[in-house]
Chains A and B, each alone.
Chain A
Amino acid sequence: MAAAVLNGVTNGIASSSKIDSYLADESRFASIDKVLDRRGPWTVEEFVGGEGTKDFLRKQSKVLVIGAGGLGCEILQNLALTGFNDIHVIDMDTIDISNLNRQFLFRESDVGKSKAIVAAEFVMNRVPGVKVTPYHGKIQDHPTTFYQQFNIVVAGLDSISARRWINATLVQMAEEDEEQLKPLIDGGTEGFKGQARVILPTVTSCYECSIDMLTPPTAFPICTIANTPRLPEHCIEWASVLEWPKVHKEKKLDTDDPDHIEWLYQQASARAAQFKIEGVTWALTQGVVKNIIPAIASTNAIIAASCCNEALKIATAAAPYLNNYMMYVGNESVYTYTFEHEKRPECPVCGGESLIAEAKRDWTLERFIESLINRQDLQISKPSLSYSRGALFWPSPPDVYTATRPNLEKPLVDLLGEDEGIVVTDPALPVSVNISIKYV
């Protein structure tokens, strides 16, 4: 579990009298105060304006930034300047030289250091008065209670799995307790294109709802790679997918190790020469095996700004927030497309229902399942149940049935505590139902 480091380093920064007088000068916010003091024609009704609004923004709100990379650096800068003063940032990565063309809070001397820690320090130094708390580690290592402390979560991630995880976590939190509904603002970029979206867990469509919109990672047929290569990419995949495990056995390929890339490059080049295929380069080799996506500062700036603009609007109600998706395309002139991405009823994360099922304390699991089958509002006949420790009872496949069948005889109270969730699937259900037990 990653620990909060450098908590409250604000005090540690060398403070000059200039900083003190700057911080005492409330008029420094004159520009942003205009839209916080004044109502505009599209300002939403809940807008209070004036001190109340500013106080919430500057003194009460707490924002979590996930990712301190290309988008993360920009997000931290924008949030700090916008007036969010209690910012937390998580990132598990360390700084690489290829980050420096866009991750502007880092310098060459920072290569190898934690992104979250260096970024937090930089922002606190540049924008005195702001507290940024870094966590060097994985989002998955924090318990749900950690996420409960924030008002807004802004994500600038490059990983689909991390996005799916935080999305599912926040949806679950909101499902269990409406008070725990945290807006998730998600940004992503590729080359000159990008998108920003606002997810209100359980209310709007969630990240998982749109998972089918993603293009699956490029993969070539394995028989092409093995026998009929035509492109330099086929030769590179041959080296990484087929030759590496054959030659290096158990040693795993580390795509960040230049010696490993060198080996792949040499193998791929030799194969390309043998088949008279042109175009294997070091950069292409690295690009194919690491699935590198082109990334530039300007696109990150646009998308991060859009994300932080939504955060500002959500925190202050100075304008209606995005409902719920904006795409930016810069390859050909400037083009944006703003639309409402619709919730998918069969979404495995937000599509399922949640309900509370009553159970008597002396019931067995079998008796409980019977009660589920008898419920008119469920209409299920062959349910499979899972809980936090895996399968609770699955009627198939045979192995899992055999392993979970003994549970049927057990008293329910021995298997599940009060409020412990169960996930139920059934051929008759489009997705699943989350059930919490209430003993009566």
Chain B
Amino acid sequence: MTAAQLRVQKDLTELELPSTMTTNFPDPTDVLNFTLTITPDEGIYKGGVFRFTFNISGGYPHEPPKVRCTQKIYHPNLDLEGNVCLNILREDWKPVLNLSSVMIGIQYLFLEPNPDDPLNKEAAEDLRRNREGFIQNVKSSMRGGTVKGETFDRVLKA
């Protein structure tokens, strides 16, 4: 068993996730690859179901996990390819952090989108200029609608 696997075992079995987050293991024998589902119960993104893939390399925890959103969503801190702008996923990663810190960090983005350090510039500008309009855009995008010519994935709870 490698040090990375051991650390992942400790991280995962000692996770205490709120009811808004669940993990899914497509292959339970491979604990280094799984998805995280976030269903915010408050805030602008309430009612959506958001999925992220977690890919943990043998370099963990020296290297951070690789995280991507599998859906195309309208969010200031996610781009259309599913990249996530979260400091602890890149420049501020430290081995003392764990999978729980990353998951909490991602959930926070749905509660408090940060329009000042954007990845999706248009969405961020909408949020800064006109919060009400932004909320409408979020709602419409979550239904699979189009915002400024860009069509998003439907992510509403079934």
Contacts and interface: CB of A to CB of B under 8 A. Distances in A.
B85 to A, nearest CB: 4
B27 to A, nearest CB: 9
Contacts of A220: 90-91
B72 to A, nearest CB: 13
Contacts of B64: 216
Interface in A388-440: 388-391, 394-400, 402-404, 423, 425, 427, 431-432
B6 A216 contact: no
A427 B14 contact: yes
Given A397-B25, A423-B9, A386 B59 contact: no
Interface string A221-256: 111101100000000000000100110000000000
Interface string A318-350: 000000000000000000000000000000110
Contacts of B93: 216, 219
B85 A222 contact: yes
Interface string A25-59: 00000000000000000000000000000000000
B10 A227 contact: no
B15 interface: yes
A222 B6 contact: no
Contacts of B154: none
A50 to B, nearest CB: 43
A176 B15 CA distance: 31
A32 to B, nearest CB: 38
A208 interface: yes
B130 to A, nearest CB: 20
Given A216-B62, A221-B117, A400-B28, A349 B3 contact: yes
Contacts of B79: 226, 242
A397 B85 contact: no
B71 interface: no
Nearest to B7: A348
A214 B62 contact: yes
Given A220-B91, A227-B121, A394 B62 contact: no
B133 interface: no
Interface in A200-225: 208, 211-212, 214, 216-217, 219-224
A164 interface: yes
Contacts of B31: 390-391, 400
Contacts of A395: 13
A432 B10 contact: yes
Contact of B77 (A216, A223, A389): A223
A402 B23 CA distance: 12
B132 to A, nearest CB: 24
B119 interface: yes
B78 to A, nearest CB: 10
A377 to B, nearest CB: 20
A222 B119 contact: yes
B158 interface: no
Interface string B96-118: 10000000000000000000011
A168 interface: yes
B119 A226 contact: yes
B95 A212 contact: yes
Contacts of A349: 3
Given A349-B3, A391-B31, A246 B12 contact: no
Nearest to B30: A390
Given A384-B13, A404-B28, A211 B62 contact: yes
A225 B23 CA distance: 30
A161 interface: yes
Contacts of B62: 160, 211, 214, 216
B66 to A, nearest CB: 11
B9 A386 contact: yes
Contact of A399 (B13, B25, B58, B87): B25
B9 A425 contact: yes
Contact of B2 (A168, A212, A221, A403): A168
Given A221-B117, A390-B31, A425-B10, 8 more contacts: A160-B62, A211-B3, A212-B95, A217-B63, A223-B85, A403-B28, A431-B10, A432-B6
Interface of A: 160-161, 164-165, 168, 208, 211-212, 214, 216-217, 219-224, 226-227, 242, 245-246, 348-349, 384, 386, 388-391, 394-400, 402-404, 423, 425, 427, 431-432
Among all A-B residue pairs, the 3 with the closest Cβ atoms:
A403-B28, A384-B13, A219-B90
Interface of B: 1-7, 9-10, 12-15, 17, 22-25, 28-31, 34, 58-59, 62-64, 77, 79, 81, 83-85, 87, 89-91, 93-96, 117-119, 121
22 contacts: A160-B62, A208-B3, A216-B62, A216-B94, A221-B85, A221-B90, A223-B119, A391-B28, A394-B9, A394-B12, A397-B13, A399-B24, A399-B34, A400-B25, A400-B28, A400-B31, A403-B28, A423-B9, A425-B10, A425-B14, A432-B9, A432-B10
